[in-house]
């Protein structure tokens, strides 16, 4: 922090010393008065430095004011030399302790095709420093591996596969209290990637003297935008001249050199780095050419090494220090474990280099590498073998079972090898480097404890360096057969068209279906909706279409909670007979629950739809809203219309491929996943590149239900290069990133789904079932229950690098992630809400994540379920938590052992009050902004002259003594009359029916009980007795007045479910 001043003549030096503590980062800055001077800084610990002996230096030429950032690795005295390499100058010198932070990163431009290793400089880095990158969208990307080299520099590898293009921020922090953080904005520019590219060139004289030792520099660089393992560099003289790394060791065989990096990580070539090796060649006389040649072989090269090439390799890499006998034994042990392709050979050399580096040996010449490892371990094994036998749970061999092993590497799965079992269930997988592996089967699952159930996690095995793994025993269960039972039918609605033909609308397996009666049979049964629906309504009119033609209109509710919307579809008569339906049209689009629609057609052929709106996320009342639809047939999309197919242009490369995974069973559902790939590309010179869209697919099958298909999109690319020596195309690799998102309503699936979530789910299912039974006993209204399911399939950084033609084999050999994310939103609600003082709500949110590749493994599960029921001023509540305990796949509950009968009844009149919220200008009541009481769904009545009217039940002030009342309003073609109460209709309502009779009179029938005795001291039994006392009442509107309500009959027990 203190400034020192001095002056130096040209060629003169001055020395200083400073005391520093291990872990500090010191910045030394020189400020020269003479800008034309050139100055250098040299530092050495414990001793005086010189221009030849130093630990660190800032010695760039022609720099007047050098700066040196010095990581302090030892506590003590450091000596600094300032040297004036140019003109004389006066200067000032200052040393500062730098605070924690990041100052620079290289490379600063990368591609999104794979991993990239970044060199990060800054201050006060420790082994606890955490590095992250933040995308332009704010998403954090953690480092795959991190190594802090000293307090001022670190190396971190990030997986940029599929990363968002744009400028990224580098973030570093030290955990602690409080944590220390630093950010470097716009640190990295991510661009569309091309992957790694290794180029090899020679640097030397174009003309050399004959009969001499000439020197050339072999330069190699990664000019791509992603990391690559150190390549094999083959260098030779095309004229057959001897070549070597030293003038005393020249040979005519091609040199096998491993292109290590000059800095850690030594076995990784980082984009933008340039490296070089000095080569020597014996020139010939008489003007002969030297003809120096070189090429790079990458670790993903799939070309099989021929027997002739193996002989060339052996001749090139055999150390001269080994005798014939020594080499024969050593090579016989080594070669069979290297692999069969050039890529396998390069990967072996990288592992060998890492092993030697761990022993403090760094060699690039493969011949010297083999000599060094022989000295260290004459029995060195290049790879190991994994062998065993697979059985079913009964002990019978599993025949033709496809197995794979994936090596666990920095949180990723890298394919180690594959095998298919023989007639005895035996398998052998070769060429496995030492490490931990996870096994996978292509169908079924592992059952190592033989309990008949698929294990929560696949088996893992450690492959040691010193021995093969043999006699591994696996137990594998076959895929669980799945047969969907017959679909259920419910919720029928009938109407007559203008010709007297009956039409039926109902729910078949949760979907809305239609059929009509031809006088003998119900015919043309078919689906109308494209997703599950409920609360159906159906109307017919001779002038529905375009105001002139006969038609049907079906209306229904689709979705759950605030995601529910109103849909409708229209049918028209075919010329050939029967009915043709339009595709569904979405009537509402908002984040408010739209429910319980009714539909009628007025004299002009306009369809009037009335439904309830309510914010399901808050304590809100239900209000009636409406829409008037003029059905224009030309604007509808009719089912059965012809579709056109696009064709690829001539002259392009095109191929398709479909791969499926599964079926898997989880959360009470059956999953089958896959990719459908279509790629177009072209040939350019000696390379072929294709890219295109990958359509990811997801098929879901539910018990008692139909199946769902979801599609997503992604990007895929693949590359081939011409192998010039063999005159054939060589596959260079491919990468896939894709995602699928979808949602559906699993109608009636609540119990099935919850029972698949372990003890807590079973407890919740029982508790909800009890509440539904109680409500059925109190008021026999139908309850619609199910699960709103959202699904996401993430495929990130799936890579193919193997020999078989892409992608026609079992799967990718490098798996970033392939996860299925499931969101479950359980719900239950009353579907026939003709009464307004009864409520049932099941809500909650459950999230699960399941790994698909390499094995189907539960990764996370958490959430909760809430139940809330209400009868007038009495509330019932319960809560269950869902967790995945211990990461071992066992489901656990935060409330294990609790019984579902713990529902608590409370007297809470305020729970029945709503809000003054207004959700549009189309409310039925003009005073909706002041209305906080609940309305029931409406019944629409059509008079002979085409007039429409609505009848509904409205809950009056629950905090007072008023009961529910029946209301009527008329529609004049654009607005509604003020609602009028039906005199004498007060009471506790539990059903409602209405119709216009043959005399054009309105007839209303409803179930009613006396609620005057209910209050804060009411018991459960008393509340039940009041509900059970309901009887049917009726009234007729004639001559401008309603008749006095009359009891239809007196019966023991409740009366409900009125149909007229």
Cis peptide before 178, with omega less than 30 degrees from 0?
Answer: yes
Q: Cα(144)–Cα(116) distance, rounded to whole angstroms?
A: 10
213 to 249, 250, 253, 712: CA distances (angstroms): 11, 10, 17, 62
238 and 231 in contact (C-beta within 8 Å)?
no
Q: How many CB atoms lie within 10 A of CB 378?
A: 12
The CATH number of the structural domain formed by 198-376 is 2.60.40.10
Burial label, 637 (beta-carbon count in 10 A; 0-12, 13-18, 19+): exposed
Residue with tokens 């003038």: 247
User: How high is the pLDDT of residue 699?
Assistant: 54
pLDDT-derived band at 655 (thresholds 50, 70, 90) equals very low
Q: Which residue from 798, 789, 845, 846 is spatially nearest to 819, judged by alpha carbons?
A: 798
- In whole angstroms, how far apart are CA 828 and each of 10, 302, 390, 788, 842? 89, 56, 46, 10, 5
SS3 78: strand
Contact by Cβ (8 Å): 255, 243: yes
Establish whether the linkage from the previous residue to 807 is cis, with ω within 30° of 0.
yes
CB 702 within 8 A of CB 674: no
First to last CA, the chain: 94
* Tokens representing residue 438 in the block: 């996870």
- Is 70 exceeded by the pLDDT of residue 702? no
pLDDT in tens, 99-118: 999 999 999 999 988 899 99
pLDDT tens digits for range 299-321: 988 889 999 999 999 999 999 99
pLDDT of 961 above 60: no
Question: Length of the chain, please?
Answer: 1060
Kind and range of the H or E run holding 877: strand 874-885
What pLDDT is attached to residue 706?
A: 44
Q: What is the pLDDT of residues 406-425, one digit of tens each?
A: 888 776 777 888 899 999 99
Report whether pLDDT(803) > 50: no
Q: How many whole angstroms separate alpha carbon 1022 and alpha carbon 287?
A: 117
CA 185 – CA 849 distance, rounded (Å): 33
For residues 708 and 742, the answer to whether their CB atoms sit within 8 Å is yes
CA angle (286, 291, 297) in 5-degree steps:
160
**Mean pLDDT value across residues 335-353:** 93
Residue 884: the pLDDT is 54
Of 833, 851, 849, 852, give the one whose Cα is nearest residue 841. 833
CATH 3.40.50.970 fits 3-97, yes or no: no
Beta sheet of 3-8, edge-to-edge order: 3-8, 89-97, 25-32, 67-71
Q: Please tell me the CATH superfamily of domain 101-191, with its number.
A: Immunoglobulins (2.60.40.10)
Cα distance between residue 256 and residue 598, in whole Å? 81
Q: pLDDT, tens digit, for every residue of 142-170?
A: 998 999 999 999 999 998 987 889 999 99
What is the pTM assigned to this prediction? 0.59
* 1038 close to 762: Cβ distance less than 8 angstroms: no
- The answer to whether the beta carbons of residues 502 and 494 sit under 8 Å apart is yes
- Residue bearing tokens 């994540």: 849
Q: What's the pLDDT tens digit per position in 532-567? A: 888 999 999 999 999 999 999 999 999 878 889 999
Q: Is 991 helix (H, G, I), strand (E, B) or coil?
A: strand
Q: Which of 3.40.50.970, 2.60.120.380, 2.120.10.10, 3.50.50.100 is the CATH number of 489-635? A: 2.120.10.10
- pLDDT band, very low/low/confident/very high, at 1053 (cuts 50, 70, 90): confident
Contact 695, 658 (CB under 8 A): no
8 A C-beta contact, residue 172 and residue 187: no
Q: What is the mean pLDDT of residues 448-465?
A: 87
| Structural contact between residues 83 and 51, judged by C-beta atoms closer than 8 angstroms | yes
pLDDT tens sequence across 999-1023: 999 999 998 888 778 777 777 677 7
What is the average per-residue pLDDT within 719-737? 59
Q: 3-state secondary structure string, 558-598?
A: ECCHHHCEEEEEEEEECCCCCEEEECCEECCCCCCEEEEEE
How many CB atoms sit inside 10 A of residue 166's CB?
13
The two three-digit tokens of residue 307, written as one number: 């027997």
C-beta neighbour count of 723 within 10 angstroms: 13
Average model confidence (pLDDT) across the chain: 82
CA-wise closest residue to 351 among 257, 434, 436: 434
721 or 887: whose pLDDT is higher? 721
Give the pLDDT mean for 202-214: 89
Model pLDDT, residue 1046 = 95
**Span 384-477: which CATH code?**
2.60.40.10
For residue 108, give both structure tokens.
């600063």
Contact criterion met (CB below 8 Å) for 695 and 740: no
What are the C-alpha distances in Å from 232 to residues 262, 434, 946?
15, 22, 87
Please give the Cα distance from 811 to 795 (Å, whole number).
Answer: 12
Bigger pLDDT: 530 vs 345? 345
Give CA–CA dist 128/177, Å, rounded.
13
Write the DSSP string, 751-771: HHHHHTTHHHHHHHHHHHHHH
């Amino acid at each position: 922090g203190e400034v020192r001043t001095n002056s130096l003549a040209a060629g003169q030096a001055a020395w200083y010393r400073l005391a520093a503590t291990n872990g500090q980062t010191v910045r030394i800055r020189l400020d020269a008065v003479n800008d034309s001077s050139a100055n250098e800084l040299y530092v050495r610990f414990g001793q005086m430095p010189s221009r030849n002996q130093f630990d660190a230096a800032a010695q760039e030429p022609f720099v007047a004011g050098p700066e040196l950032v010095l990581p302090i690795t030892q506590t003590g005295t450091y000596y600094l030399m300032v040297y004036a390499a140019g003109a004389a100058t006066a200067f000032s010198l200052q040393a500062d302790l730098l605070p924690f932070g990041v100052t620079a990163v290289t490379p600063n431009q990368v591609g999104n095709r794979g991993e990239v290793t970044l060199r990060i400089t800054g201050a006060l880095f420790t082994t606890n420093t955490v590095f992250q990158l933040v995308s332009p969208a704010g998403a954090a990307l953690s480092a795959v591996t991190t190594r802090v080299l000293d307090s001022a520099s670190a190396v971190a590898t990030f997986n940029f596969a599929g990363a968002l293009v744009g400028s990224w921020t580098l973030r570093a922090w030290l955990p602690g209290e409080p944590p220390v953080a630093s950010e470097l904005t716009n640190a990295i520019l991510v661009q569309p990637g091309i992957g790694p590219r290794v180029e090899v060139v020679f640097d030397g004289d174009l003309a050399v003297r004959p009969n001499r030792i000439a020197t050339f520099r072999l330069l190699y660089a990664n000019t791509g935008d992603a990391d690559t393992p150190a390549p094999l560099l083959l260098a030779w003289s095309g004229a057959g001249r001897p070549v070597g790394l030293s003038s005393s060791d020249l040979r005519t065989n091609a040199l096998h050199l491993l292109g290590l990096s000059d800095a850690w990580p030594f076995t990784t070539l980082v984009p933008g780095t340039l490296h070089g090796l000095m080569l020597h060649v014996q020139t010939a006389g008489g003007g002969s050419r030297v003809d120096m040649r070189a090429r790079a072989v990458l670790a993903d090269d799939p070309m099989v090494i021929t027997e002739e090439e193996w002989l060339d390799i052996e001749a090139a890499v055999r150390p001269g220090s080994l005798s014939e006998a020594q080499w024969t034994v050593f090579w016989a042990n080594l070669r069979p474990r290297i692999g069969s392709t050039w890529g396998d050979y390069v990967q072996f050399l990288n592992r060998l280099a890492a092993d030697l580096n761990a022993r403090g040996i760094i060699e690039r010449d493969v011949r010297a590498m083999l000599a060094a490892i022989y000295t260290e371990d004459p029995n060195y094994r290049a790879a190991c073998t994994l062998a065993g036998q697979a059985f079913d749970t009964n002990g019978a061999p599993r025949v033709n079972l496809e197995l794979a092993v994936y090596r666990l590497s920095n949180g990723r799965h890298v394919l180690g090898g594959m095998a298919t079992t023989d007639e005895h269930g035996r398998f052998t997988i070769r060429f496995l480097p030492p490490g931990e592996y996870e096994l996978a089967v292509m169908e079924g699952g592992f059952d190592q404890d033989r309990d008949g159930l698929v294990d929560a996690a696949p088996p893992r095995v450690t492959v040691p360096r010193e021995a093969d793994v043999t006699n591994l025993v696996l137990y594998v269960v076959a895929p669980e057969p799945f047969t969907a039972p017959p679909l259920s039918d419910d919720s029928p609605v009938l109407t007559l068209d203008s010709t007297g033909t009956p039409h039926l609308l109902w729910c078949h397996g949760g979907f809305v279906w239609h059929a009509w009666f031809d006088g003998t049979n119900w015919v043309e049964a078919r689906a109308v909706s494209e997703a599950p629906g409920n609360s159906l309504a159906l109307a017919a009119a001779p002038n529905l279409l375009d105001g002139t033609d006969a038609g049907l209109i079906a209306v229904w509710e689709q979705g759950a909670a605030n995601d529910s919307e109103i849909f409708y579809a229209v049918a028209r008569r075919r010329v050939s007979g029967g009915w043709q339906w339009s595709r569904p049209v979405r009537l509402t689009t908002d984040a408010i629950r739209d429910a319980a629609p009714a539909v009628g057609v007025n004299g002009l052929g306009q369809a009037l739809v009335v439904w309830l709106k309510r914010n399901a996320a808050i304590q809100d009342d239900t209000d009636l809203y409406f829409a008037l639809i003029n059905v224009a047939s030309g604007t509808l999309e009719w089912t059965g219309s012809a579709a056109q197919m696009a064709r690829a242009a001539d002259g392009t490369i095109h191929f398709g491929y479909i791969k499926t995974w599964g079926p898997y069973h989880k959360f009470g559902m059956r999953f089958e996943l896959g990719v459908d790939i279509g790629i177009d590309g072209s040939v350019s010179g000696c390379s072929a590149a294709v890219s295109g869209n990958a359509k990811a697919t997801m098929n879901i099958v539910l018990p008692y239900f139909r199946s769902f298909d979801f599609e997503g999109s992604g990007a895929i690319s693949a590359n081939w290069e011409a192998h010039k020596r063999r005159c054939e195309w060589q596959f260079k690799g491919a990468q896939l990133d894709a995602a699928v998102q979808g949602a559906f309503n699993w109608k009636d699936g609540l119990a099935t789904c919850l029972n698949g979530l372990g003890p807590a789910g079973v407890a919740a299912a029982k508790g909800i079932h009890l509440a539904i039974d109680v409500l059925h006993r109190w008021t026999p209204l139908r309850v619609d229950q199910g699960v709103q399911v959202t699904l996401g399939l993430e495929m990130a950084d799936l890579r193919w690098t193997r020999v078989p033609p892409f992608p026609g084999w079992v799967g990718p050999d490098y798996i970033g992630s392939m996860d299925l994310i499931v969101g479950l939103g359980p719900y239950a609600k009353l579907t026939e809400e003709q009464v307004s003082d009864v409520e049932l709500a099941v809500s909650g949110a459950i999230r699960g994540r399941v790994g698909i590749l390499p094995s189907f493994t539960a990764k996370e599960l958490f959430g909760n379920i809430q139940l809330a029921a209400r009868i007038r001023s009495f509330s019932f509540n319960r809560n269950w938590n869902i967790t995945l305990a211990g990461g071992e796949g066992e489901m656990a509950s935060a409330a294990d052992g609790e019984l579902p009968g713990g529902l608590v009844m409370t007297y809470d009149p305020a729970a029945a009050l709503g809000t003054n919220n207004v959700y549009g200008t189309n409310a039925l009541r003009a005073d909706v902004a002041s209305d906080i009481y609940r309305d029931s769904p409406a019944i629409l009545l059509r008079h002979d002259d085409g007039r429409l009217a609505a009848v509904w039940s409205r809950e009056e002030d629950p905090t007072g003594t008023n009961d529910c009342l029946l209301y009527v309003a008329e529609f004049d073609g654009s607005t509604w009359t003020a609602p009028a109460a039906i005199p004498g209709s007060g009471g506790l309502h539990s059903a409602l029916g209405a119709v216009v009779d043959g005399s054009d009179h309105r007839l209303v029938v409803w179930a009613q009980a006396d609620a005057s005795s209910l209050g804060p001291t009411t018991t459960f039994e008393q509340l039940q007795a009041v509900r059970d006392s309901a009887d049917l009442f009726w009234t007729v509107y004639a001559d401008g007045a309603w008749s006095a309500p009359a009891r239809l009959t007196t019966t023991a027990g409740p009366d409900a479910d009125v149909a007229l």
